[in-house]
Structures are given as C-alpha cells and as structure tokens.
Structure 1
C-alpha cells in the first residue's frame, strides 16, 4: 500500500519529500526555492490533464467536514518561479527587473509570435515611465486567476467537502472551487475569475479553471487570451524546520498565447507576524488604491500615478489593455463575443 501511494504521487506530478529538486543557480541561492514539477506527461489540453489525474486517483477522495484538510490562518506569498521580484522567470532572459520596472530582455519562443510581439510592445511602452503606464486594477478590474497566484498579499483558504474558498485581501477577489462537480457556465459567457472545479487526493487538491477573461500574469508581464485554462495542484507541506508551506504546481494552457503549456510553482508561508498583529481581511475599497502623481491636469484636477483609459497617449480598445495591439487575438471577454472594434473601429471611453 505504501509503495502504491508513492507511485501515485509521482504519477500525479506532485512535490514529494524525497524528490530531488532540479534548480537553477539563481534558485539554489534562495533557501525557499522549490523546483517546478511538470505534469506526468504532455497533455494537449487542461481537460485532458485534469481527467487523467482524476482517473489515476480513481475519482479522488470524498471528504467530510471532519476529514477535509484544514489550511486555516493567514498566508503570504513566498517563492515562485514566475518571479515578480528576483529569482527566475520564463518570460525574461538572464537577470530580470522587478516586473513593475522597465528593462529586461524578453525570452523568445515561450509566447506565440503574436503575443511575443505584444509583450515586447508592452515592455517598450514602459520605458518612458519605468512601469506599465496602464494597469487594469486602476479601474478596479479583478486580477484574474493567473495574477491572483502571484499577487504579494495576504490569503486565506477555507475548505469544505463541497467547495474550497480562496480569499485574497486585494480587490475582494475570492475564488471558489466546486469539489466533485462539473464545469457549469450558466451565464453563457466568461467571467473575471472563470469557473473552477476540483477533487481531492487525500490531502492534495487538484483544480481546473476555465472560462476566464483575458488578462495577464502581472502588471508588466505578458497578456494571455480568453482561451487560457489552468491546472493547479495544491498540497500543505510541513518541512524539517517546522515551517508550513502551501505549494501549488501549476500548468497554464493557452493555444492562442503560449507555444506550449507552461508549468510553474507558487508557494505561500504562514503570515505569522501579520496574524500576531491581529490583522483581519477587510473590504477592499478600490478608491483608496488610486495613487496621486502630484501633478494636475489643465483644470487643476490631480492625476493618478497610473494613466487611465482616455488620457492623452492612450487609445482605449474595447475590453483590451490599451498598451496592447488593437487587433491582438483572444482579447474579447469571451471567445465568441462580438468585437466592436473590428466593425466600428477603435472607441474612446
């Protein structure tokens, strides 16, 4: 029985305590580094990946309230392989800027030619400001699941037998995972956080998210299309030092923006100091996040630190980031959505 469990864990591509990490030099210099564990084999789609894992697990573990894993408390972002700050990133060559800053050589062959060109254009547009001059969060849009993984803020995970709730203290963005259920798109359209379903394998949660709006991995990072789907495999690990970490092995599937599926790893550690201070996640008031540049327009109104749609120098495209090409594929909210720009031309708001 013990041997079969170990083999199953390896087959699922999960991080196990006895595995030997394969790390780059930059990763090895970081004591919190974790190796990226790719899927057990190549899959063409997220659906194929998810169904394979579920078959290997014989449908998974059906937990009760008493047995469902408890990931209580506050958590904060730790090591990841997408690298908002430092470390390594699949999107850049060599040493990279913090993501929010301009500079850095874009890695070729990760993104499709169309999206690679769009990403290079985004980085070029950042040079004059040393940051991305427009960010979706400035207009209170949701981060989206890919950026949710990388946001450096406080999280909570609440697991029940039927659902798992993932709370981010940024932007009130709560992701809901429906356990042992099928995808249901009752709206007939995509949504900012998409639809997430999952199943348990003992203490490991496997999640498949689809039907999300096009967004990006983070401000200053590449965009992805409305055909993005994500597989996430979560496990709570207690290390030899006693430190607890939530580790998520993640694979992104997007035939429009990615040359091939992209795998990465994200981790979170207990936010002990924040818990000790008595911090509680409150409602996020988007207005308080609008930063002032210290400059004013011709009428004397203060300007935000991030340029808004309609400001001089930014053409607003229907449902697109204005720093991306207007004809970039897969940037409507849903794949079959009517594209106003292609019929009526660019619009201003």
Structure 2
C-alpha cells in the first residue's frame, strides 16, 4: 500500500485503520472539510534570522505569560492534520492535492540554485513516473521538521508551565518545547526534530526550533538543509459550532536552501470521533520489521514472504524455544489466558 504520507511504507494495522478513517472522512465533520484555510500571517517585519524573529516576538510579549497548571491552555484529545499553505511557496498554483503527484510548475527564485535544481529534478521524476519513486520514510527515517507539521496521522498535545509536548503517532516523534529556556545542545548534533524553546503570549504559544537534520518539507516537496530553523505560533480557535481547530503560523529560515525566509499556515482539527472508536497512539516500530528497500534503479521495492531477506513482523524474539516469545501474543496465548 502507498499511504498518504510515506511512500511504500508497510504500516502497522492500527495505523492503517486510523489513516483510513481520516482519509475517508468518516469522523471529520462536514464543517471541518469545508472550512477555509486561515490566511498566512507574515512576520511583523523582515528578519535576517530565526533568532531575531523570536527575540522580537518575545519582547513584544513583554517576556511572555507565566502560566500555571490552572491557567495553561488545554489542547486535549486527539487531533489530525488539516490543510496548509506550504505548497503555494514552492509550486505555481500549489495545493496539497498535487504535492505528492504530478502537476504544477516550480516557482523559480524561491530556492537557492542548487536546491532549485534538485527540486526541479524531483518534480520531473514525478512527471515521468507518476510519483516520487523513493521516499526516505520508507527506510523508517523520521518525518522531521517541517514535515512533522502535516504528517497525516494522529497527534496529541500536552501543555505544562515548563514544557509543551507535541506528539505525533508517526515514528513516535515527540517535540518537546522548553518554555522560558535557552537552546541547549550538549551533544553538538542535529536531530530529526531539533531543539525547541518557547514562551506563551496569552493563549498563543511561540516556538523557535533549530539544529534540525536535513530532510524535506513533504514527499514531492523541496529538501531542507542542516541550517533550517523555524519560528511558529500555535493558537487554538473554538468555532461557533463548538469544534476546535489549532492554527499554526510558521516561518522557515534556511540560508543554504531558501533565497529568503518563507511563511506558511498549517491547521489541525480536533477528532473526538477517533477517540470514540478507541483510537490511541501506540508505540511505532518499523526499523526491525520494514521489508522495503531502495533498489539499484532508485525505486522502492519490498521483500516478500519466502524471500531470505523477509522480516516477519509477527515472528519471534531471540528465544523462540521459550513459551510466550511470539510477537503475536494475542493469538499465541493459551486459551485459558485469553
């Protein structure tokens, strides 16, 4: 199956079920489906760096709002990704509908020459083959920033006075936002979700993320460099019908890949319907069970049952001689234990 977010990845059954619910729209309301994307809010002025942008917002907010557990905004429940404006940055008449399929032409002058050349080659491949032939998520790589913002699975958000946890079902990617802190990198390394600090401006959360591994904005979209940084504002809106929406205004800084900073708006929709059917975020694991690989022609291929390289996701641990070592315990359990 080729899912909506990660080309060719063999997904756990529960994730396939959740994705099917979201894609089919069985729970999302008609109001959510018809809701217009909020306008992009550009930074109050041009900033050379993400640090300058963040410092300006921090000063404007008077050093930020010091919330307690009684006053902190609550974004409880499950959420799914809504629409976003990112494709319009990189494609003429760009929409989410054509990001991962043929269509649209590259906006010239947005990316630096080497990154624009690579992006044009990626889009040409999609025109020739109907899709991007290989996606890094197939190798169980993390979505990373900024792709995290739109991965089409479920998310949970926990706000506390000292930290905010932004949790993504895909790859167990949890972004920890350290409130009122400075950036720290004692490992001297980049990570898929980078290091994030933030502050509250009333009910709006402001975040600055840096030290992010090179990745891409989405399958079919441009690459990011190891100099990518992002400033975001998150705010919950409750609509007249009572439905909740999280609106994220993001500005991307990447001096190696972008000619100048670019801004986009992303949304998430509250999904109580998914909670009602019992959906929960589980531990995502595919590094030891993925049967996909990159062939010599640059395509995603799969090892199938019977192939010596095939990994049985419902196999056994290193101690198959002991009872209870199957990775399919529900069906291997003794009848009296079920």
Specify if TM > 0.5.
Answer: yes
What per-residue deviation string (whole Å, max 9, x for no partner) do you get for residues 109-135 of structure 1? 211121111100111223343221121
Name the CA distance, whole Å, in 2 between partners of 1:195 and 1:221. 23
Query: What is the CA-CA distance between 1:211 and the residue it aligns to?
Result: 0.3
Q: Does 2:91 correspond to 1:92? A: yes
Contact 1:150/1:217, CA 8 A, preserved across alignment: no
Name the CA distance, whole Å, in 2 between partners of 1:222 and 1:111. 9
Normalising to structure 2: TM-score of the pair?
0.75
**Structure 1 residue ranges (4+ consecutive) displaced by more than 4 angstroms after TM superposition:** 287-291
Map 1:31-180 to 2 at 5 A: 31-83=35-87, 89-94=88-93, 98-180=98-180
Query: What is the CA-CA distance between 1:241 and the residue it aligns to?
Result: 2.8
Contact 2:133/2:298, CA 8 A, preserved across alignment: no
Change (3 A) 1:139 1:95: closer
Q: Hey, what does 1:220 align to over in structure 2?
A: 220
Which structure features the higher share of helix residues? 2
Query: What is the CA-CA distance between 1:285 and the residue it aligns to?
Result: 2.4
What per-residue deviation string (whole Å, max 9, x for no partner) do you get for residues 104-157 of structure 1? 211112111211111001112233432211211111111112000011111100
Name the CA distance, whole Å, in 2 between partners of 1:190 and 1:212. 5
Q: CA RMSD in A?
A: 2.0
Q: Hey, what does 1:256 align to over in structure 2?
A: 256
Q: Does 2:211 correspond to 1:231? A: no
Contact 2:139/2:287, CA 8 A, preserved across alignment: no
Change (3 A) 1:103 1:207: same
Q: Which moved more, 1:259-268 or 1:233-242?
A: 233-242
Name the CA distance, whole Å, in 2 between partners of 1:213 and 1:287. 18
What per-residue deviation string (whole Å, max 9, x for no partner) do you get for residues 212-263 of structure 1? 0011000111001100100000111112232211001100001111111100
Query: What is the CA-CA distance between 1:95 and the residue it aligns to?
Result: 5.8
Change (3 A) 1:265 1:288: farther
Contact 2:229/2:254, CA 8 A, preserved across alignment: yes
Give the counterpart of 1:312 among 287, 290, 296: 296
Query: What is the CA-CA distance between 1:78 and the residue it aligns to?
Result: 1.1
Name the CA distance, whole Å, in 2 between partners of 1:67 and 1:289. 43
Name the CA distance, whole Å, in 1 between partners of 2:289 and 2:98. 20
Q: Secondary structure at the match of 1:143?
A: coil
Q: Secondary structure at the match of 1:50?
A: helix
Name the CA distance, whole Å, in 1 between partners of 2:81 and 2:261. 23
Name the CA distance, whole Å, in 2 between partners of 1:263 and 1:174. 23
Normalising to structure 1: TM-score of the pair?
0.72
Change (3 A) 1:285 1:181: same
- Unmatched tracts of structure 2, length 5 or more: 1-32, 300-338
Q: Secondary structure at the match of 2:108?
A: coil
Contact 1:189/1:211, CA 8 A, preserved across alignment: yes
Contact 1:34/1:79, CA 8 A, preserved across alignment: no
Query: What is the CA-CA distance between 1:287 and the residue it aligns to?
Result: 5.9
Map 1:248-327 to 2 at 5 A: 248-286=248-286, 290=290, 304=292, 308=294, 311-314=295-298
